[in-house]
Structure 1
Amino acid sequence: MGVFERYYASQSELNEAGAEVWESYKRQVLGLLAAKMVKKSVIAAGLEQGLRELREFPPGAKQVGPAAVALERAIELEYPEFLREDEERLSKALKRGSIRTEREYYLVRHAIDREEGSPSDRLAALYKLADNFDAR
């Protein structure tokens, strides 16, 4: 949650609507946690996926450069192991040649989205992993 806090605080002038959505989401999450309606691990997995998606700025988005820099800085300060752990998980799935969990599947899909448009052997391997998982 610290990454989102830091990021939206730094982007308040550029993305007021995003900051409002974050504040609303944060209140909901804290309420669910306080009521013990959701496990922390479920919230953490959702936040990590949200962070991956936030790193994919839409084409033509205003202020992509400063926003991307602010996001990467927030990750560096609040959750530096995030990118390293994602890459390790992805490498293990590629080496193993299969996806074991839904979480790995979303990680692979995210990597495909980030690497699409730059054909490579790695991208082909990622597609194969996702296709095999989808076929199950």
Structure 2
Amino acid sequence: MKNVMIVDDAAFMRMTIKRILENDNYKVIAEAENGYKAIELFKELRPDIISLDITMPEMDGIETLRRIKEIDAKAKVIMITAMGQDKLVREAVKLGATSFLVKPFNESQLIQTFKQVASRI
């Protein structure tokens, strides 16, 4: 069972991702509503996989990804992005994002993406 941290400023999105993942035998060990909290929790818990929203207040997903990769270059991070954020996606790839998921996504897309990333651990 892989440990997951979900980072999204929208509580509804965190709850949705958590429900889907827990139904597929992932363990959600942490949730964060912003990048600052995500970095603190990452240092403490070292989840196997992180789902990270690109667009968040206070600290966006790109800066959060940058800081997580400084802590652990091997961290597995799935970026969650909205349509039309191609420039941000390219930036995240340069920084070492493991995979991407474009909103709106369905349950099977989420599970497939997590399984692909989990297979690399």
Same fold per superposition (TM over 0.5): no
TM-score w.r.t. the length of structure 2 is: 0.28
Instruction: Return the structure number with greater strand share.
Output: 2
Instruction: Return the structure number with greater helix share.
Output: 1
TM-score w.r.t. the length of structure 1 is: 0.26
